[in-house]
Amino acid sequence: MSPKTEHKTNTQTNKVDDEPFIEGATHPEYDAGDKEEDDDSNSDNDNDTLAVTENLEDEDLSEDISEEDKETIKKVANDDNLSQAKSHASILVEQSMDARKTFERSLGSLFTSAFTAGLEIGISFFMILSAFSLLSGVMSNHYALVLASLLYPIGFIIVVIGQSLLFTEQTSLLSLPVLNGFEPLSKLLRLWGIVVAGNVVGGCLFAGLMIGLGLNMKLFSINDINAYAEHILEFDWWVIFGSAILAGWMMGVTAWLVTSARDTLSRIVLVAIITGSIGFLGLHHSIVGNIEVFSALLYGDTVSLWRYLVFLAVVLVGNTVGGVVFVAVLKNRTFLFDVEKVKEQTSNDRAEARRNIPIHRP
C-alpha cells in the first residue's frame, strides 16, 4: 500500500468514527459526485450542497471531536476526486447518515412516504398483469409470465429514484445505526412497523382502485389475476421463505449499489438490473407480493384472507432476514474489521515517523 493510499484510507476511517457528530453537513464524496460539470441541470443544487461541506468550520462540528479529527473531517469534505470509485467506508458512512436522518423524521412524514411507495410500487404489478394478459393469448402461461416479469423494475425505479420509503430497500439501511450503537432496537422496530404499514396500506389501496380500473378497461381479466396469484402462492411456506430471503438480500444489495453510484442514470440501470432479476426468477417480494395476492383476494376466487395473511407474514420475515443478515451485518462487520487494520497500520506509521525525527541539541 502506497503512502498516498494509506493517507486516503486513514482519512476515511477517521471520518467513519466522527461522522455521526457532524451537524448539518452532508456526505462529502456524495456531494463531490454531484459536482460533475456535464450535469448542468443540477448545477445550482450541487453548488448549494457543496457550499455546506467546502465551508465547514469548527463550530459546525461537535465539541467532543479533537482538533486533529476536525481537520481530518474538513480535509475529507473538500475532497472532490471523481477519478476513483467510492470506497467501502464512504458508502457505509453515507448509508448510515441517510438512515439516521430517517430516524429523525416525524411519524407522519415516515408513513406518508411509505404510503406513497406502496402506491407507486403497484405500477409494476399493473404493467406485468397487463402484459401477461396480452401474451398469454399467444403463448403458454409460463413463457407469458417470464416475459411479463421484465416490466418488474418500473415501480422500483419510481420508488428508489423518487426516494420514497420502501421496506425491503430500507431494511438493511435502517439497521446500520442500531448495529453501530447509535439507535436503540426498539426505535428500529417501530420504524420498520411504520414503513411496513404505509407500504401495505398503499399497496392495498392501489389494488382496490387501479386493479379494479384495469378490469373495467379490459386490460386483464379475473382469470389473469387468479393465475398470477397462484403463480406466487403455489409453493410450500419454507420455499416462499427461502425465496423471500434471497429477494431481501438482493434488495439490500440494490440499496448498497445505488449509494455507490455517482449519477442518476447509473442508479436507474442498477435498480433495473437487480429488481429485473428478482422478477425474472419469480422471487417473493413482500410489498409487490402484497398487491399481487391482495388483488386476488378482492377480485378473484382462489385466495382466502388467512392464506393472504400467512403469505404476507412469511415473506416479510424472509425479506427482513435477507436484508439484515446478508447485507447490513456482513458488510458492517467487514468494514469494522478493515477499520481495525487501518488503525493499527496508522499507529505503526506514526511511531516510525516519530523515531525518524532528528533531535536538535543546543
User: 178-218, pLDDT tens digit by residue?
Assistant: 887 888 999 999 999 999 999 999 999 999 999 999 999 99
Residue 73 binned pLDDT confidence (cut-offs 50, 70, 90): very low
Judged against a pLDDT cut of 90, whether residue 242 lies above it is answered with yes
Q: What is the pLDDT of residues 266-316, one digit of tens each?
A: 999 999 999 999 999 999 999 999 999 999 999 999 999 999 999 999 999
Residue 336 binned pLDDT confidence (cut-offs 50, 70, 90): low
Q: What is the percentage of the chain residues whose pLDDT exceeds 70?
A: 68
Judged against a pLDDT cut of 90, whether residue 164 lies above it is answered with yes
C-alpha–C-alpha distance, residues 206 and 28, integer Å: 39
Residue-level pLDDT at 98 = 85
DSSP 8-state secondary structure symbol assigned to residue 208: I
Q: pTM score, two decimals? A: 0.74
Cβ-proximal residues to 129 (8 Å cutoff; 6+ apart), any chain: 148, 211, 214, 219, 220, 224, 225, 228
Residue-level pLDDT at 95 = 81
Query: What mean pLDDT do residues 121-147 have?
Result: 94
Residue-level pLDDT at 339 = 55
Q: Which ranges constitute the DSSP H helices of 41-106?
A: 43-54, 67-77, 88-103
Residue 228 binned pLDDT confidence (cut-offs 50, 70, 90): very high
Most distant CA atoms of the chain, gap in Å: 97
Residue-level pLDDT at 362 = 53
Residue 357 binned pLDDT confidence (cut-offs 50, 70, 90): low
Residue-level pLDDT at 179 = 86
Judged against a pLDDT cut of 50, whether residue 79 lies above it is answered with no
Q: What is the pLDDT of residues 113-126, one digit of tens each?
A: 999 999 999 999 99
